[in-house]
Structure 1
Amino acid sequence: MVRIVMLQIGAAFVVAVIAALIGGYAVGISALLGGLCCAIPNAMFALRLYVGTLKPDGASPVTFFVGEFIKIALTIALLGAVVWFYREVHWLGFLAGFIVVLKSYFILLFRS
């Protein structure tokens, strides 16, 4: 799990650098923020599942579903916070960063 989260954060930085080279500094920051809006909740979810496995009974389905709800709520909150506080957001870069990190999860799962 940690490997996948670290690779997602790495993908966020890679897409930010590419976006900055193509569109400039503000587009790169927007892409980085979009990617982190996806990677940070995934990291929190992985941490919650790991802590759940340390219990004597192990992780339960409730741990998973509560963690997934928190992940979705945190994603929405981070997206809203970026839009609220970073007024110079470039939507194409922001969405590109978010989508690349979101889809990198599936690619990384099938990688050996």
Structure 2
Amino acid sequence: MRDTMLKAIYLQLGAALITAIAAGAIVGTRGLVSVGIAAVAAIVPNLFFAVRLTMLKNRAGASYAANFFVGEFLKIGATIGILAIAIKGYPGMHWPSLLIGLAIVLHAGFIAFWKKS
């Protein structure tokens, strides 16, 4: 499971890089930065979630299911929080780039679970 979680994060990083380069080529710096913000908002909480679940796996007496749902709730909250801070802090946000970048980065992680090898 741990390898699959890290594989998902690597796939998200790759998708973010490709999407940011494409947005930068099409829209310019605003598009590149907007996709970068979306990538950070998606990848950083996922990374902390994966590390947390890996640490809990070795702890005796911890309810994995309960910790999974609490971690998922915190991950969603962190993503929303990072996006809210970024929206207020970067007034030059290019919304289509942000939304497309967020959708691509979030969906890239599912490929790791779909294609196990």
Compute the TM-score of the two structures, normalised by the length of structure 2.
Answer: 0.88
**Is the 8 Å Cα contact of residues 45 and 78 (structure 2) preserved in structure 1?**
yes
Contact 2:8 2:111 in 1 (8 A): no
Structure 1 moving runs of 4+ over 4 Å? none
Query: How far off its partner does 1:59 sit?
Result: 5.2
The structural deviation recorded for 1:57 is 3.6
Structure 2 gaps of 5+ residues are: none
Alpha-carbon distance in structure 1 between the residues aligned to 2:109 and 2:9: 8
Q: Does 1:20 align with 2:17?
A: no
Listed as ranges, the gaps of 5+ residues in structure 1 are none
| CA deviations over 1:43-100 (Å, ceiling 9, x no partner) | 1111110111121346521111110111011011011011011111100001111000
The CA distance in 2 between the partners of 1:48 and 1:19, in whole Å, is 32
Bigger relative CO (Cα 8 Å, ≥ 6 apart): 2
Q: Distance in 1 between matches of 2:50 and 2:36?
A: 21
Q: What amino acid is aligned across from residue 68 of structure 2 in structure 1? A: F
2:38 is aligned to 34
Asked if 2 retains the 8 angstrom alpha-carbon contact of 1:35 and 1:100, the reply is no
Farther off after superposition, 23-32 or 55-64:
55-64
C-alpha contact (below 8 Å) 2:7/2:112 kept by paired residues: no
Of all paired residues, the percent bearing the same amino acid is 34
> Contact 2:9–2:47 (CA<8 Å) still a contact in 1?
yes
Aligned-residue Cα RMSD (Å) equals 1.4
Q: 1:110 aligns with which of 89, 103, 114?
A: 114
